[in-house]
Structure 1
Amino acid sequence: MTSIPIRLLLAGEGAIAGIHMQALERIEDVEVACLVGGVDEDARIFAHEWKIPEVSLDYEASLARDDIDAVILATPSQLHASQAAQAIDSGKHVLAEIPMSLNLADAERLTERAERSDRVGMVAHTRRFNAPHREIKRRIQRGEFHLQHLVSETYFFRRQNLNMHGNPRSWTDNLLWHHACHSVDLFAWLLDDFDLEVWGSAGPPHAELGIPMDMNIGLRSHAGVMATLVLSFNHHGPFGGFYRYIGEEDTLQAFRDELKDHRGAVVPLEGSGFEYQDREFIAAICEGRRPEAAFSDCLPTMRLLDRLEALMANSGG
C-alpha cells in the first residue's frame, strides 16, 4: 500500500454508508475526505458520527475536486448508473453499491464507459467477498464439495419502506434488481456459469409502494445444479440473506460471514465480506489493476435479471 492516503468521496448517508464506514476504518491509507448527502441534517449527523470533515449536497461539484481520488456510491439504487458514469467521466475510481443499475440497457452503457476508462470501476457484489461463499467456491473448485441445490431465502422490510436499521427511506427498494441480484450473482459466480436456465414469478404490486412484495426464482446450470430463491418484503422475523448449500458431502448454512455444517457446528472462517470488498477496491487503485467484481464481471448477472424480468412480465407476475 502507498503511504499517501487514498482520498474518498462517500455519497450517501444511509444504512449501507455506515457499513462502508465500519469497513474503511479498518483499512490503512484511506481517508474519507467528504460526504455528499441527500438530506442536509441527516448528512451532517452522519458526518459528525464518523468524523468526516466536509459535507456537501452537490455531487457534481464534489466530483470536480482535484483532491478526491475515488468515490463510493451508497446512494439510492436508481442513482447508481448515472452517478457512477459521472464519477468515471470525472476521472475518479468508483465503487458502486449493488445494483449497478435498475435495467440492462443502463448496465451495458455503464460497463462500456468503465471499460474505456483507465479508472478502477467496481460493483459491491458483496456475496462474492463473504468468507462462507468464498469457502464454498474453493471447495467446489477443488472437488471437495459437489453442490446439488442452493436454497436462498431473502427477507427485508415488513411492508414498510424502511432501511436495515428500521429508519424511513426516501426511495423505494427493488426486490429483483437489488435483492435477487445478490443471490443470482452468487450462484452464477460460484459455478463460473452465467448461461443459466431461469424462471420465476412475482406477487401482485403493493397498493402504496407499487412493487411486488414476494418473488420466487429458479436457476439451473448446464450441469443440472439447481438454485431456488425465495424473496419477501412481507416476512415476519429477522431479515437478511440465508443460504443453504445442499451438496453430496454435506449441507452447509451461510448467513453473512458465518458458515455452519448440517449439525450446526460453526466452520472456522475469518474476515468481513464488506471489509474484504472495500479492501479490494482500495488495493486495485493502489496496484493499478482490475478489481474483482468489475463492472464487466457483473454485467452477465444483469442479463440474467433482464431475462427474469421479461419472464415475470409475460406471466403476469
Structure 2
Amino acid sequence: MFASPPIRLLLAGEGAIAALHMQALQTLEGAEVVCLAGGVAADSAAFAERWGIRGHSLDFAACLARDDIDAVILATPSPLHAGQAAQAIAAGKHVLAEIPMSLDLADAERLCAQAAATDRVCMVAHTHRFGPPHAELKRRIGAGEFHLQHLVAETYFLRRDNRNMFGQPRSWTDCLLWHHACHSVDLFAWLLDDAELEVWGSAGPRHPELGIPMDMNIGMRSRRGAMASLVLSFNNRGPFGGFYRYIGEEATLHAYRDELKDHEGIMQPVPAGTGFARQDGEFLAAIRERRPPESSFAACLPTMRLLDRLDRLMGLT
C-alpha cells in the first residue's frame, strides 16, 4: 500500500485504447481514475459504468479545470492529441498522450517546447519501449549478448472503413505512417540508441474514400549497418497486429504482443508484466519521483523527425 495519496487521473477517451489503459491501471497501485472525458454521451456513460468511474463529461476543458485531477491520460483520436496535450500542460497537469503525440513535426516541436518550460511529467505512450519482449532485446543488445542484423516488422489491419481494432465504428481516419509506423520507427531507433537513421520508403495508392495510403513499406539503416524493414497494410484480412522478427548473429527471435519465442517456438524469458502496465506504471512512477519518464516528449521528438523525413520522401504532404 502507498502511504501517499493516490494520483488522481482524468482519462480522456472511451474507445479501445482507453479500455486497455483501464485494464493496466487495475494492476497498479497508487492511482485512481476519478473522471472520464468522453466524445459520445452514451458511450461515455457506458464506459464509466463498466469501469466504475464516478464522473464523466463531454467537456474536456471543464474536466481539466477540476482541482481533484493531478494527471491526464489521452486515449482520444490521433488528431486531438496535440491540442489536448497542450491544454493539459497549460492547466498544470501531468500528461500521458497516446501515440502519436501529433500528426506532424511542427506540432511535436511546439509540444516539446511547452513541456520543457514546465515541471510536469509529459510522456508519450510508445508502448513497445515497455513491451517485455522488446525490453529484453534492448537489454541483450546493450549487454552485447545479441547483435541485431535485421529487424523485420509487419503491421497488419483491415481498415477499409473507419473502425477500431475491435471492429467498432470510429469518427476519424487512422494514419498508417504517423500512428502505426511510428511504433516501429521509434522501436528501432530506441533499441540501437540511434536517431540518425537512414530512412526510405514508398506508399501504395490512396483509398478513394478515406484518402489515405493503405499499404506502405519503410526501410531503415543504423550508422553501424543494422537494417530494419517495415511492411504495413490496412488491406490485410488477418491475423491482425504487429509481428516482429529479430534476426541477429546469435539467434532469430519472434516477438508478438508480450511474448518472445525463438525460431523453434520455444518461449524466451522476458520481464514480468504487460507492455501497457509497465508503461502506465512508468508514468505514475515518474510523477511520484519527480523525474523525466522513459518516452518523454523530448525523448520521442527524434522519432517525429524521422517520420517527417519519411512523409516528405513518400510525397504524402
Question: 1:158: Cα distance to partner?
Answer: 4.0
Q: Distance in 2 between matches of 1:46 and 1:134?
A: 31
Q: Distance in 1 between matches of 2:3 and 2:155?
A: 39
Q: Distance in 1 between matches of 2:138 and 2:7?
A: 31
What one-letter code is carried by the residue in structure 2 that aligns with 1:245?
Answer: Y
Q: Distance in 2 between matches of 1:263 and 1:299?
A: 37
Whether 2:233 is the aligned partner of 1:232: answer: yes
Match in the other structure for 1:147: 148
2:314 aligns to what SS in structure 1? helix
Aligned residue pair count = 315
What one-letter code is carried by the residue in structure 2 that aligns with 1:288?
Answer: R
Question: 1:68: Cα distance to partner?
Answer: 0.4
Q: Distance in 2 between matches of 1:287 and 1:149?
A: 37
Match in the other structure for 1:254: 255
* Contact 1:157–1:163, Cα closer than 8 Å, also in 2: no
Match in the other structure for 1:65: 66
Q: Distance in 2 between matches of 1:67 and 1:157?
A: 40
RMSD: 1.0
Alignment of 1:72-91 (within 5 A): 72-91=73-92
Question: 1:2: Cα distance to partner?
Answer: 4.6
Which residue of the other structure, out of 289, 293, 296, is the alignment partner of 1:294? 296
Normalised TM-score (structure 1): 0.98
Alignment of 1:47-196 (within 5 A): 47-196=48-197
Question: 1:287: Cα distance to partner?
Answer: 1.0
What one-letter code is carried by the residue in structure 1 that aligns with 2:311?
Answer: E
Question: 1:162: Cα distance to partner?
Answer: 1.0
* Contact 1:200–1:218, Cα closer than 8 Å, also in 2: yes
- Give unmatched runs, 5+ long, in structure 1: none
Whether 2:283 is the aligned partner of 1:285: answer: no
C-alpha distance after superposition, 1:136-164 (max 9, x if no partner): 01111111000000000001234222111
Match in the other structure for 1:212: 213
Question: 1:262: Cα distance to partner?
Answer: 1.0
Q: Distance in 2 between matches of 1:11 and 1:279?
A: 18
Q: Distance in 2 between matches of 1:305 and 1:126?
A: 17
1:62 aligns to what SS in structure 2? helix
Match in the other structure for 2:203: 202
Question: 1:271: Cα distance to partner?
Answer: 1.2
Question: 1:276: Cα distance to partner?
Answer: 0.3
* Contact 1:64–1:90, Cα closer than 8 Å, also in 2: yes
Question: 1:3: Cα distance to partner?
Answer: 2.7
* Contact 1:181–1:305, Cα closer than 8 Å, also in 2: yes
- Among all aligned residue pairs of Structure 1 and Structure 2, give the percentage whose two residues are the same amino acid: 72
Question: 1:209: Cα distance to partner?
Answer: 0.6
Q: Distance in 2 between matches of 1:199 and 1:121?
A: 30
C-alpha distance after superposition, 1:31-72 (max 9, x if no partner): 100000000000000001001000100001110111100000
* Contact 1:158–1:236, Cα closer than 8 Å, also in 2: no
Match in the other structure for 2:273: 271
* Contact 2:157–2:237, Cα closer than 8 Å, also in 1: no
Q: Distance in 2 between matches of 1:190 and 1:2?
A: 36
Match in the other structure for 2:23: 22
1:144 aligns to what SS in structure 2? coil
Match in the other structure for 2:36: 35
Normalised TM-score (structure 2): 0.98
Question: 1:167: Cα distance to partner?
Answer: 0.4
Greater shift, 220-229 or 262-271, is seen at 262-271
C-alpha distance after superposition, 1:78-137 (max 9, x if no partner): 100110010000000000000000000000000110011110000000000001001001
- Give unmatched runs, 5+ long, in structure 2: none
* Contact 2:158–2:238, Cα closer than 8 Å, also in 1: no
Q: Distance in 1 between matches of 2:184 and 2:70?
A: 31
